[in-house]
């Protein structure tokens, strides 16, 4: 008896599914009756609402000005032709409230990015589905990796903040036919995953109207992303070694002048700065617009200070070596008076005072250059 009841239930459900499938097929035919997909839905401008759902920041290449972010667009509009046909067929299938079409069957806004990094992608690699409600409301999802051109401002590297954007238009329709509006004032970040190198600081959406010859206008939406670099890596392996090499320069004057190591030590530090400069140039953006990186200026200034310190070391060593004139016989030359005067001086004492003076001058030069440049660098940090 129980198995007979189960069999009846299965037969009823199968019959209902067959009826629903048949009704959906009939409704689909009725909805596309006298439908012209080449015309936009309304006699006036069709309002298309966009919402950008960010998923992950793929990369920001500050050397080539490339910004890539993955996500999907939620596109919404209304098609009164579908609603009209649906109302005519509602008595045949009142239980069906949604219907899906491929974009080749109905009118869809052809979304195009107008600021790509490499080329315009007019043709998509897959066909998207469009969901319609009984009132004619339509929704379509477009998932992609959006890549745009973004000029980097490396002035405050590695504490820089970049502003990149993705501008979208409806390809093939002017403002009198299709108007783009945002669903929200900001990009949807509910599904966003944090990037290891960049923080997403803020997002904005702006509506832009672009005019052509003052007659034809184009409606577009500009999705703006404000990203900030994570500086911990650069602080540890870029800024700290610079500070340590600055300190090492000052120790050149603390080595004994008669040991022969003072000059070689200062030359070694100078070469280290020069080699380090060639290494870090691969990490510092090579952009000269709008400004050269303050950190690059800082490294170049340290190289110049290192050259001046090397000159101070040579002058100091030459002064100490003049003390050897005390034990030498001065020949009868035209410079004998000058050499006699020099022989009476305590050049070791003068050398000590020169060392102190050169150390003070080097410290002042380092502090002035560091405070001036690093103050400008840290001013780029915004909370």
Bridge partners, residue 288, by sequence: none
Better pLDDT: 11 or 119: 119
Distances (CA, A) of 154 to 63, 129, 180, 305: 10, 42, 33, 24
In this model, does residue 26 exceed pLDDT 90? no
- The domain segmentation of the chain, as residue ranges, is 32-230, 233-378
pLDDT winner (highest mean) among 77-81, 124-128, 338-342: 77-81
Contact 200, 230 (CB under 8 A): no
Q: Find tokens 């008076």 and name the residue.
A: 337
User: At a CB cut-off of 8 Å and minimum separation 6, what does 140 contact?
Assistant: 74, 75, 103, 108, 128, 129, 130, 131
Q: Measured between alpha carbons, how far is 338 from 254 in angstroms, rounded to an integer?
A: 30
Q: What is the pLDDT of residues 271-325, one digit of tens each?
A: 888 888 787 777 777 766 667 888 888 888 888 888 888 888 888 887 777 666 5
- What integer is the mean pLDDT of 85-89? 81
Distances (CA, A) of 152 to 93, 149, 161, 183, 235: 57, 10, 9, 29, 20
Q: What is the pLDDT of residue 380?
A: 58
pLDDT winner (highest mean) among 24-33, 140-149, 296-305: 140-149
Count CA atoms closer than 13 A to 87's CA, side-chain side: 7
In this model, does residue 212 exceed pLDDT 70? no
In this model, does residue 345 exceed pLDDT 90? no
Kindly state the percentage of the chain with pLDDT values over 70.
Answer: 77
Model confidence at 12, in pLDDT bands (50, 70, 90)? very low
Q: What is the pLDDT of residue 373?
A: 67
Model confidence at 200, in pLDDT bands (50, 70, 90)? very high
Q: Measured between alpha carbons, how far is 236 from 287 in angstroms, rounded to an integer?
A: 23
DSSP character string of 265-281: HHHHHHHHHHHHHHHHT
CATH class of 32-230: mainly beta
DSSP 8-state secondary structure symbol assigned to residue 142: E
Model confidence at 13, in pLDDT bands (50, 70, 90)? very low
Q: Burial code of 279-305, b = ≥16 C-beta within 10 A, e = fewer?
A: ebeeebbebeeeebbbbbbbbebbeeb
- What integer is the mean pLDDT of 237-264? 81
Model confidence at 215, in pLDDT bands (50, 70, 90)? low
| Joined tokens for residue 258 | 């008669």
Q: Do domains 32-230 and 233-378 have the same CATH topology?
A: no
Q: What is the pLDDT of residue 381?
A: 60
In sign, the C-alpha dihedral spanning 86, 89, 95, 96 is negative
Going by C-alpha positions, the residue among 304, 156, 308 that lies closest to residue 239 is 156
- What integer is the mean pLDDT of 255-284? 80
- What integer is the mean pLDDT of 92-99? 75
Q: What is the pLDDT of residue 349?
A: 65
pTM: 0.78
Domain 233-378 in CATH: superfamily?
Answer: Neurotransmitter-gated ion-channel transmembrane domain (1.20.58.390)
In this model, does residue 90 exceed pLDDT 90? no
In this model, does residue 123 exceed pLDDT 60? no
Q: What is the pLDDT of residue 91?
A: 55
DSSP character string of 121-137: --S-SSPPEEEEETTSE
Model confidence at 119, in pLDDT bands (50, 70, 90)? low
Cα radius of gyration rounded to whole Å, the chain: 37
Better pLDDT: 231 or 319: 231
Q: What is the pLDDT of residue 341?
A: 46
Q: Where are the beta strands (DSSP E) in 197-241?
A: 198-212, 216-229
What does pLDDT average to over the chain? 79
Q: What is the pLDDT of residue 76?
A: 94
Contact 313, 354 (CB under 8 A): no
| Joined tokens for residue 326 | 């005390």
Contact 43, 178 (CB under 8 A): no
Q: What is the pLDDT of residue 104?
A: 86
């Amino acid at each position: 008896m129980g198995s007979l009841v189960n069999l009846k239930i299965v037969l009823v459900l199968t019959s209902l599914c067959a009826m629903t499938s048949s009704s959906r097929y009939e409704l689909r035919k009725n909805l596309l009756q006298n439908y012209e997909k080449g015309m936009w839905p309304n006699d006036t401008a069709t309002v298309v609402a966009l919402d950008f759902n960010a998923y992950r920041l793929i990369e920001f290449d500050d050397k080539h000005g490339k910004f890539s972010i993955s996500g999907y667009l939620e596109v919404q509009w209304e098609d009164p032709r579908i609603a009209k046909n649906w109302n005519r067929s509602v008595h045949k299938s009142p239980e069906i409230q949604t219907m899906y079409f491929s974009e080749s069957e109905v009118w869809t806004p052809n979304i195009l990015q107008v600021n790509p990094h490499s080329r315009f992608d007019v043709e998509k690699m897959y066909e998207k589905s469009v969901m319609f409600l009984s009132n004619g409301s339509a929704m379509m999802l477009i998932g992609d990796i959006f890549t745009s051109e973004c000029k980097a401002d490396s002035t405050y590297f590695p504490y820089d903040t970049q502003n990149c954007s993705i501008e979208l238009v409806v390809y093939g329709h002017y403002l009198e036919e299709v108007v783009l509006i945002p669903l929200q004032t900001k990009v949807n970040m509910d599904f966003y995953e944090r990037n290891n190198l960049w923080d997403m600081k803020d997002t904005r959406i702006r509506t832009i109207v672009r005019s052509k010859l003052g007659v034809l206008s184009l409606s577009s939406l500009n999705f703006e992303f404000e990203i900030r670099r994570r500086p911990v890596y650069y602080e540890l392996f870029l800024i700290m070694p610079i500070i340590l090499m600055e300190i090492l320069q000052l120790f050149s004057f603390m080595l004994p002048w008669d040991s022969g190591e003072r000059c070689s030590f200062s030359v070694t530090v100078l070469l280290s700065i020069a080699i380090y400069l060639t290494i870090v140039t691969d990490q510092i953006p090579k952009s000269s617009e709008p400004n050269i990186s303050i950190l690059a200026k800082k490294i170049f200034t340290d190289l110049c200070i290192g050259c001046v310190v090397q000159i101070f070391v040579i002058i100091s060593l030459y002064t100490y070596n003049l003390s050897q004139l005390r034990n030498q016989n001065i020949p009868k030359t035209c410079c004998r008076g000058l050499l006699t005067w020099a022989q009476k001086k305590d050049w070791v004492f003068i050398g000590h005072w020169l060392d102190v003076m050169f150390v003070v001058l080097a410290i002042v030069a380092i502090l002035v250059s560091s405070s001036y440049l690093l103050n400008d660098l840290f001013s780029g940090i915004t909370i």
